[in-house]
Amino acid sequence: MGLTIAQKIIKEHLISGDMAAGSEIALRIDQTLTQDATGTMAYLEFETMGVPRVRTELSVAYIDHNTLQSGFENADDHRFIQSMAKKYGLQFSRPGNGICHQVHLERFGKPGKTLIGSDSHTPTGGGIGMLAMGAGGLDVAVAMGGGAYYITMPKMYKVNLTGKLRDFVTAKDVSLEILRILSVKGGVGAIIEWGGEGVKTLSVPERATITNMGTELGATTSIFPSDEVTKAFLEAEGRGEDYIELSSDADAVYDKIIDIDLSALKPMIACPHSPDNVVTVESLKGTKVNQVCIGSCTNSSLFDMLKVAALLKGKTIRPEVSLSISPGSKQVLAMLADCGALSDILASGARVLECACGPCIGMGFSPNSGGVSLRTFNRNFEGRSGTADGQVYLVSPETAVAAALTGEITDPVLLGSMPEIKMPEKFKIDDSAVIPPASPEDADRLPILRGPNIKPFPDSKPLEDSLAAPLVLKVGDNITTDHIMPAGAKILPYRSNIPHLSQYCFAVCDETFSERAKAAGESIIIGGNNYGQGSSREHAALVPLYLGVRAVIAKSFARIHAANLINAGIVPLTFADPDDYDKLAQGDALRIDDIYAGLDSGSLTLKDSSSDIEIKLSCSFTDRQKAILKAGGLLKYVGQGNL
């Protein structure tokens, strides 16, 4: 039987396990990346492992999220990460050098390699044929220490592309279309491979937009073949030697095949507050717009920015709209400046922000109260923009420009003809903002520089055989990590200070949660489907751990969050019958006995003494996951000699 591209890479990196969908596999990881919002914690965890130097082929520490320095906290964290990188053998990408995924694609990613990153949009690397996955910080720390990365062997889905995108219809519209078809849960447990004749018409930045946003499908990752287009991109980056050809076998077998005719697509838009709430742009025409933001790891490549500049050239944005543009990397910004496109952007009235995540994670540029904000980003979860009642829509750069110029949601086709965008044969290469590590001989003498904002991470305890605890919070479907542990400019500086962060846990849904959980001592959370979708932030597990949460019972979990819960020593359990969710009420006194035996048999009984009912729970943990839970989390398990 033939293999898919992902299966070929997995086969080459398989340390243990059976490549049958649903089985646990252990993978050798070639490259890792971290960003600063998850990085401080990941490096604190790495430090406790006592490994003298990273054991990967390449590990990069990026600073791109927490770049507003409105106090000492972020600057201290940057300095801490820089000192860790220098000592332990990592490349350090300085603030200003760009968004981790964009820079990694340009300067470091290699087809056929495995990459894990402490950021859920790490699959961007799939645009050049990498097996690139988002992971919790602790999993990345283990991989840096030379340990394997464990995942459930995914199913294989294929999206078969035919035709060619028309002017003003873009890779972003392809991403939105697949979200419309599959929903935010549609990719759970699967790798999405993009193939068919239409693939050849898509450039690397377009492919990377699509693999980036595959995260919103819940997919383990997304991947494109590595072909002549990939080769030309790597050559233009001066890295032709990194190219290898990669394609699936003609007789590869897929669990699902979806056909998309690129020529038939229209400009699409995701409405508040979910990336799969997708309709055509045309259907919302005339809706007034207050703010437009162009950038983020989804749409900040030179290709995107040149299109934006060409469409803005000689025009002025509407006075009632504010437009921000954040180029994805220093390379993109420098090339925009060199070719004059930056002047066209500035002359239009846009505000050019630094090369960082910025508004995407609420680091500034929050919309006005109730404001309508059109963003080229990948997430529009409620409150994520920093304005609680902000109405965020997700669109392509073309649709974003059309709104900035007209003040309302407008089909970009109405902008006239699309200027031809010529990509350079060579990108401008300047790696001066990437600081290499010290030599192993010098590393010993180097200090680690810590600020007062860095607090120890919460201690977990070994799993007990019985748990009696109140149902402290009951939430519905598709709860995101932005609900569990919100981000934004005010809170993000405390990513290395779990006690401080804890007061904001679940504040979006329930302002009293933190107090109530603390008062309860130990507690249980009940969730619906796809609990924990979105970010890879392990803070969405570490903070509940700090607040005493011992188990989360949900209808289903998002992949990275489930792994983060196990790593933190919190037990993720599912309802054997999802309808039992309705039988439980917040405040109920819950009890689970014989947990050790239940973990082995795969079934536990939840007793609700408030209503005197019993509910069956399922758990299908691997032996390794059981051992981690029993030890009280992955750090404890690694401490027992299990790296």
Catalytic residues: 64-65, 119, 379, 535, 537
Residue 479 interacts, among ligand MIC, ligand SF4, none and using kind-specific CB cut-offs from 5 to 8 Å, with none
* Inter-residue contact 150 to 25 (CB < 8 Å): yes
Residue 38 interacts, among ligand MIC, ligand SF4, none and using kind-specific CB cut-offs from 5 to 8 Å, with ligand MIC
Closest CA to 273 of 478, 75, 115, 125: 478
Q: Is 482 in the site for ligand SF4 (CB under 6 A)?
A: no
* Min dist. Cβ of residue 428 to ligand MIC (A): 26
Burial bucket for residue 479 (CB in 10 Å: 0-12, 13-18, 19+): buried
* Partners of 609 in the β-ladder: none
Residue with tokens 């962060």: 501
**Please, which of residues 309-368 interact with ligand MIC by CB under 6 A?**
361
* Inter-residue contact 144 to 117 (CB < 8 Å): no
Give 119 or 408: the residue with its C-beta nearer to ligand SF4.
119
Q: Is 119 in the site for ligand SF4 (CB under 6 A)?
A: yes
Q: Is 121 in the site for ligand MIC (CB under 6 A)?
A: yes
Give 158 or 539: the residue with its C-beta nearer to ligand SF4.
539
Q: Output the furthest CA–CA distance in the chain (Å, rounded).
A: 72
Among 143, 192, 234, 297, binds ligand SF4 (CB under 6 A): 297
* Min dist. Cβ of residue 38 to ligand MIC (A): 4
* Partners of 617 in the β-ladder: 575, 604
Q: Number of residues interacting with ligand SF4: please give it, by CB under 6 A.
A: 11
* Inter-residue contact 569 to 461 (CB < 8 Å): yes
Q: Please state, in angstroms and rounded to a whole number, the distance separating the CA atoms of residues 221 and 68.
A: 30
**How long, in residues, is the chain?**
643
Among 116, 174, 278, 357, binds ligand SF4 (CB under 6 A): 357
Letters for 24-53 (x = contact with ligand MIC by CB under 6 A, - = none) are: -------------xx---------------
* Min dist. Cβ of residue 338 to ligand SF4 (A): 24
What values do phi and psi take at 375, rounded to 5?
Answer: -130, 145
Q: Is 378 in the site for ligand SF4 (CB under 6 A)?
A: yes
Helices (H), 481-537: 481-484, 498-501, 513-520
* Inter-residue contact 551 to 570 (CB < 8 Å): yes
Could you say which DSSP state residue 67 is in? -
Torsion over CA of 623, 626, 630 and 631, rounded to 10 degrees?
60
Q: Please state, in angstroms and rounded to a whole number, the distance separating the CA atoms of residues 569 and 111.
A: 35
Q: Is 99 in the site for ligand SF4 (CB under 6 A)?
A: yes
Q: Is 60 in the site for ligand SF4 (CB under 6 A)?
A: no
Residue 99 interacts, among ligand SF4, ligand MIC, none and using kind-specific CB cut-offs from 5 to 8 Å, with ligand SF4
**Please, which of residues 458-477 interact with ligand SF4 by CB under 6 A?**
none
Q: Please state, in angstroms and rounded to a whole number, the distance separating the CA atoms of residues 643 and 636.
A: 11
Beta-carbon contacts of 553 under 8 Å, excluding residues fewer than 6 positions away, are: 524, 525, 526, 527, 573, 574, 575, 606, 617
* Inter-residue contact 206 to 200 (CB < 8 Å): no
* Min dist. Cβ of residue 120 to ligand SF4 (A): 7
Q: 207 in helix, strand or coil? A: helix
* Min dist. Cβ of residue 540 to ligand SF4 (A): 14
Q: Is 179 in the site for ligand SF4 (CB under 6 A)?
A: no
Helix then strand then coil, in percent of the chain rounded to 5, is 35, 20, 45
Beta-carbon contacts of 578 under 8 Å, excluding residues fewer than 6 positions away, are: 529, 555
Q: Please state, in angstroms and rounded to a whole number, the distance separating the CA atoms of residues 17 and 25.
A: 4
* Min dist. Cβ of residue 41 to ligand MIC (A): 9
Q: Is 361 in the site for ligand SF4 (CB under 6 A)?
A: yes
Q: Are strands 14-17 and 24-27 parallel, antiparallel or unpaired?
A: antiparallel
Sole window of 116-124, 142-150, 287-295, 627-635 interacting with ligand MIC (rule: CB under 6 A): 116-124
Sole window of 356-364, 558-566, 602-610, 628-636 interacting with ligand SF4 (rule: CB under 6 A): 356-364
Sole window of 147-155, 204-212, 532-540, 632-640 interacting with ligand MIC (rule: CB under 6 A): 532-540
Among 86, 104, 110, 121, binds ligand SF4 (CB under 6 A): 121
Give 473 or 541: the residue with its C-beta nearer to ligand MIC.
541
Q: Is 508 in the site for ligand MIC (CB under 6 A)?
A: no
Residue 537 interacts, among ligand SF4, ligand MIC, none and using kind-specific CB cut-offs from 5 to 8 Å, with ligand MIC
* Inter-residue contact 572 to 557 (CB < 8 Å): yes
Letters for 528-567 (x = contact with ligand SF4 by CB under 6 A, - = none) are: ----------------------------------------
What are the residues binding ligand SF4 (CB under 6 A)? 65, 99, 119, 121, 296-297, 357, 360-361, 377-378
What are the residues binding ligand MIC (CB under 6 A)? 37-38, 65, 119-121, 134, 361, 379, 487, 534-537
